[in-house]
Structure 1
Amino acid sequence: MSVTADRLSHSQADARDLVRANGAARPVLETRVVSGQEWDQTIADFDEVCQEQLHAFAVARWPSVKHEPMLFLLNGEIVGGSLMMVQPLPLRLGHIAVSKWGPMLKDLARPDADALHAGMIEALIADYADKRGQMISVLPCASTTPINGAFQRLEAYGFQAGSQLMFPNRYIVNLRLDDAAQRKSLNQKWRYHLNKSEKSGLSFEWAGPERLAEFDTLYTAMTDRKQFSDHSAYDSVASLMALDEKLRPELFFVRHEGVVVAGALIFKAGDRAVYLYGATNDQALPLRAGYFMHWNIIRWLRDNTRARWYDLGGTDGFQGLHQFKKGMVGDAGVIEPVPPVANYASNRLAYLFGTAAFAARDALHSMHRMIAGWRNPKTRPTQVRPGADETGQ
């Protein structure tokens, strides 16, 4: 996307005026970069805490970048944070400071939450763009409302829309319903399959981290059986399971006649729980084990966490996953897109070098996906992975 000189020449003061015109008065926030261990301990109680913002996850997923966990404070009180990943550009042309699903608010219910988010954006601009001369690249999470306020504020500060996920929609379940209301909200076909699953002799169980190897076996067998390319961050699971109880994902299994037929790993901290990984064996499909498992995960999250939402992730273009997740979201949940990446730089060269690097990366990823599709037709989004409509995997 081309960028006019006028947009790039917006000063920080101009951007501040744009946001003030939208009704937000921002406090000036203090910033503090902390160690990875202190960061993970501190953000465990944030409403907007998420897997991608965990230091333990980021160093396993993106080991070659510099990780800078930055806290934001107002009058000495921690109000938010953003794990910044500083990536050098080729040929020493500069650096890009990346925040995925950040910056995060500690308390979404604060009346000044929007103003604090704007203040965090200002602080990032002042440090990374103005002081260091880097391009900032922020990927906000999908909103639970039709308007994505985080992305709008980034735009108000002169951030430009960059790369967009190929399949951006996220399927998000409302967790704060009783059993009757939750079941009523489900799509009729989804409810039908759930009713069938409950008559199949299945049992649901929570499992501790000591049983991760059992899930690993199930997951590996499934990926081998379905022969699809795994582009996920599954290698980071061991690091996540070593975290303390607040941040550690929860592990669930479904059994039939004493045999584990399905399992799932769920991130449950904060305001939004997230489906990370699921796995099934050949018995799961006719037993409709995916319906049974997710229904009971929804109920467990409601009764054992403070999360208001359960994010099922996307579909990667698989129609079976769309039907399964849409039916589970039902009438009470939401389907909203992840917005484009938002990019900002205080000078034109930093912006041009940064966006050129992203364009090259996107082209390389597209080529890899195309090659994977040629080698294994089962990975093509035009086809449904076996059992995808059942398991959400």
Structure 2
Amino acid sequence: MRSVERGTVFVKVDPETPDSPQPEEPSPDLVSLPAESIQKILRASAWRPSSEQVQFRNTMVLDLRASEDQLLAGMKQKTRYNLRLAERRGVVVRPAGLEDLDRLYRMYAETSLRDGFVIRDRAYYNDAWGTFFNNGLAQPFLAEVEGESVAGLIVFRLGRRAWYLYGMSRELHRELMPAYLLQWEAIRWARREGCEVYDFWGAPDRLDPQDPLWGVYRFKEGFGSRLVSGVGAWDYTVRPRLYWFYTAVLPRVLGLMRLRGRAQTGHAVD
């Protein structure tokens, strides 16, 4: 096998397949076998469910084939209220661009420190975000209060599907609910671009109020989105001993590296 010759330890796949039957899929871009068939094929080929997920196993999706009025009506009352409150209190949402990369990164770094997750350095995001912006595959938005940026997000799109992959905010003016108006404008943009599905990208593995992502889940649910659970990531082991090291020992090393990364991120926003 070429993979063995190249020193591969294992191969990971993450099928875009719900683990249970779903309502009619709005977008025909993704066609796959039923989850049971996928899992049977993987097990028969010596794949195993992975303990390490790359993408979220669960996500929240919104059907964009409805009209704007129908989408608003499908939201939870509190979500509509917060959206309108942001409008009344002077929050303005505008499309952003390459000239806003530094502003977006600084807010993203501030968000990572506040919420306890690790991000990469500025150069990585300048390159990654800039590439998608330049090729028309992503659109950033900024929420501003009296001309000052207080929150932002980046929506990616391909075919008839849009993904909300990055969100960032400052402590400033959070009481004005800018995140709600940001999401609404991103949803409207995705509809104008011809998307039929808005994927909020990510939800807790278990719907438990004690889960760290519970608040994020409730926020996304408020827009009328529904939960979709996938079959998750699967691993094919090429080198068993190194695979054990990677899955049992390396996470501890990465934990230390993440602590160092958080310190570097802190310097970036000082």
Q: 1:229 aligns with which of 91, 97, 117?
A: 117
1:318 aligns with 2:213: yes
Deviations 1:239-274 (A, max 9, x none): 342357445421111111111111111112223211
Deviations 1:77-122 (A, max 9, x none): xxxxxxxxx9967xx7953674xxxxxxxxxxxxxxxxxxxxxxxx
- After TM superposition, give the deviation of residue 321 of structure 1 in Å: 0.8
Deviations 1:297-338 (A, max 9, x none): 1011101x232212112246422112111222x2xx331123
Q: Residues 368, 181 of structure 1: CA spacing in aligned structure 2 closer, same or farther, 3 A cutoff?
A: farther
Instruction: Map residues 58-69 of structure 1 onto 2, 5 A cutoff.
Output: none
Q: Residues 239, 254 of structure 1: CA spacing in aligned structure 2 closer, same or farther, 3 A cutoff?
A: same
- The answer for the alignment partner of 1:170 in structure 2 is 59
Deviations 1:339-372 (A, max 9, x none): 232345xxxxxx4x45664454333465468779
Quick check: which has more Rg, 1 or 2?
Answer: 1
Q: Residues 227, 152 of structure 1: CA spacing in aligned structure 2 closer, same or farther, 3 A cutoff?
A: closer
SS in 1 for 2:128: helix
- The answer for the alignment partner of 2:21 in structure 1 is 146
Q: Residues 204, 244 of structure 1: CA spacing in aligned structure 2 closer, same or farther, 3 A cutoff?
A: closer
Q: Residues 359, 322 of structure 1: CA spacing in aligned structure 2 closer, same or farther, 3 A cutoff?
A: farther
288-297 vs 163-172, greater mean Cα deviation? 163-172
Q: Residues 191, 368 of structure 1: CA spacing in aligned structure 2 closer, same or farther, 3 A cutoff?
A: farther
Segments of structure 1 that go 5 or more residues without pairing to the other structure are 1-85, 99-136, 345-350, 376-393
SS in 2 for 1:322: helix
State the superposition RMSD in angstroms: 3.6
Taking structure 2 as the reference length, what is the TM-score of the superposition?
0.72
- The answer for the alignment partner of 1:280 in structure 2 is 169
- After TM superposition, give the deviation of residue 195 of structure 1 in Å: 2.6
Counterpart amino acid of residue 39 in structure 2: E
Q: Residues 371, 181 of structure 1: CA spacing in aligned structure 2 closer, same or farther, 3 A cutoff?
A: same
Segments of structure 2 that go 5 or more residues without pairing to the other structure are 23-31, 205-211, 260-270
Instruction: Map residues 53-132 of structure 1 onto 2, 5 A cutoff.
Output: 95=8, 98=11
| Aligned positions, number | 239
- The answer for the alignment partner of 1:335 in structure 2 is 227
Is the contact made by 1:271 and 1:306 (CA closer than 8 Å) also made in structure 2?
yes
Output the CA distance in 1 between the equivalents of 2:126 and 2:79. 30
- The answer for the alignment partner of 2:27 in structure 1 is none
Q: Residues 359, 196 of structure 1: CA spacing in aligned structure 2 closer, same or farther, 3 A cutoff?
A: farther
Taking structure 1 as the reference length, what is the TM-score of the superposition?
0.52
Output the CA distance in 2 between the equivalents of 1:248 and 1:204. 20
- The answer for the alignment partner of 1:307 in structure 2 is 195
Output the CA distance in 2 between the equivalents of 1:87 and 1:322. 42
